[in-house]
Amino acid sequence: MPAYVVAMMSIHDPLTYREYTDRTPSTVKKYGGKFLTRGEPVTTVEGEEYKDRMVILQFPSMAQVQAWFADPAYQEAMAFRHAASTMQLLVVQEGGANTEDPNPIL
């Protein structure tokens, strides 16, 4: 079952952040992942305007996400991201059993 990574980051050092973005694609590909979006403009249709960078990745499974995140090459790349930005990272697995009529209380 596919898993998605949603990364939302505020970059304060673009040159250092570039060191991260230069290293990331090969690690994503290694675990069967692909970029669905990679910093394209985001349009806010409700709520406070989102002005930062957003990246969405798709992996074949949650296990592949976990393996990617633990990979030594990605861990090394993350040091550049930590130095250059603040980020919120979310992972969600595709679909549950009740996607057509979800419980509105949950």
Please check whether residue 12 lies inside any domain of the structure: yes
Where in the sequence is the domain holding 75, given as residue range(s)? 3-43+52-93
- In percent, the amount of the chain with pLDDT more than 70 equals 89
Spatial separation of the C-alpha atoms in residues 12 and 52, rounded to whole Å? 11
Please check whether residue 106 lies inside any domain of the structure: no
> Which CATH number does the domain housing residue 23 bear?
3.30.70.100
Please check whether residue 89 lies inside any domain of the structure: yes
Question: Any bridge partners for residue 93, and if so which?
Answer: 3
Residue 66 in tokens: 């976990």
pLDDT at 94: 75
Q: How many helices and strands in the chain, by DSSP H and E?
A: 3, 4
Residue 35 in tokens: 């970029």
pTM (2 decimals)?
Answer: 0.85
Tens digits of residue pLDDT in 72-103: 999 999 999 999 999 999 999 876 665 676 66
Please check whether residue 65 lies inside any domain of the structure: yes
Please check whether residue 74 lies inside any domain of the structure: yes
For the chain, what is the domain count?
A: 1
